[in-house]
Amino acid sequence: MFYGIDLPGRLMLGTAQYPSPAILRDAIAASGAGVITVSLRREGQGGGAFRQILRDSGCRILPNTAGCHTAREAITTAHMARELFGTDWIKLEVIGHADTLQPDPFALVEAARVLCAEGFRVFPYTTEDLIVGERLLEAGCRVLMPWGAPIGSGQGLRHVEALRTMRAHFPEVPLVIDAGIGAPSQAMAAMEMGFDAVLLNTAVARALDPVEMARAFGQAVSAGRLAYRAGLMPRRDMAVASTPVFGQAVLA
């Protein structure tokens, strides 16, 4: 549940960098995504077709504050997004470093506090740092979105053990792996670990066939969720025969 909403699909898909609007539309449909992310940029030409794709998708819209480097910029962007998209959901990004696109946790908490107080449903793009997570919850966030790896890097879950700790530390909080996912297997691993959703863009948009890759990610996320709910067997150091020993013939 994300702010009281039960999503039909646990993949959240970005809408940038696709080869064409038609491929974007087909990729959204093939992915089974429950949420698609969008941005706000200076008005140019061709916006009408994109708006139509958003309407036709049937997905919940999650506007982002991508590119903002200060709390003030992110807050103003959130205000503009709320009016334009008619939603109080906001993917809050406050970037701290231009090369790594790492979140600035201090400005993030500051912006989250202001926006939550104004009634926004904030989805903060954060690191796996537990104390930052706690501060975001204190600020009013009811979802946390730790990064898997730097945005667009395709490195997968760079800090698997830290993410596992985060999952255990916030058992009741919806957690979304946001950014850095490069392959369906990585998304599936995140879901098997008990994360509630995965948000990605580049891995689908930059695939040779984005529509088929969107489908692959959708299936991986579903399979990973199923596996988590079914309960994975514990890992063992030694072999344990699966075929019964009882009744085995003596042939030696």
Partner 1 sequence: MQIDLNGTPVVTRATTLAALITEQGFDAASVATALDGQFVPRQARAATSLHPGARIEVLAPMQGG
For residue 117, what are the CA distances in angstroms to 71, 102, 113, 124, 191? 14, 25, 6, 15, 31
Residue 91 among the catalytic residues: yes
Of 91, 121, 135, 167, the active-site residue reads 91
Nearest 5°: phi and psi at 246? -60, 135
Rounded CA-CA distance 165/64 in Å is 27
Q: How far is the CB of 171 from partner 1 (least distance, A)?
A: 28
Rounded CA-CA distance 91/85 in Å is 13
Rounded CA-CA distance 39/26 in Å is 20
Find the binding residues for partner 1 in span 198-237 (CB under 8 A).
Answer: 201-202
Using left for φ > 0, alpha for ψ between -120 and 50, and beta otherwise, residue 136 falls in alpha
Q: How far is the CB of 123 from partner 1 (least distance, A)?
A: 13
Find the binding residues for partner 1 in span 38-57 (CB under 8 A).
Answer: 38-44, 47-48, 50-51, 54
For residues 83 and 161, which CB has a smaller minimum distance to partner 1 in the complex?
83
Find the binding residues for partner 1 in span 56-95 (CB under 8 A).
Answer: 63-64, 66, 72-73, 76, 79-81, 83-85
Which residue type occupies 99? D
Annotated binding-site ranges: 152, 179-180, 201-202
For residues 100 and 165, which CB has a smaller minimum distance to partner 1 in the complex?
100
Rounded CA-CA distance 185/213 in Å is 12
| Interface with partner 1 (CB under 8 A) | 14-18, 24, 37-44, 47-48, 50-51, 54, 63-64, 66, 72-73, 76, 79-81, 83-85, 151-152, 179, 201-202
Kindly list the catalytic residues. Answer: 91
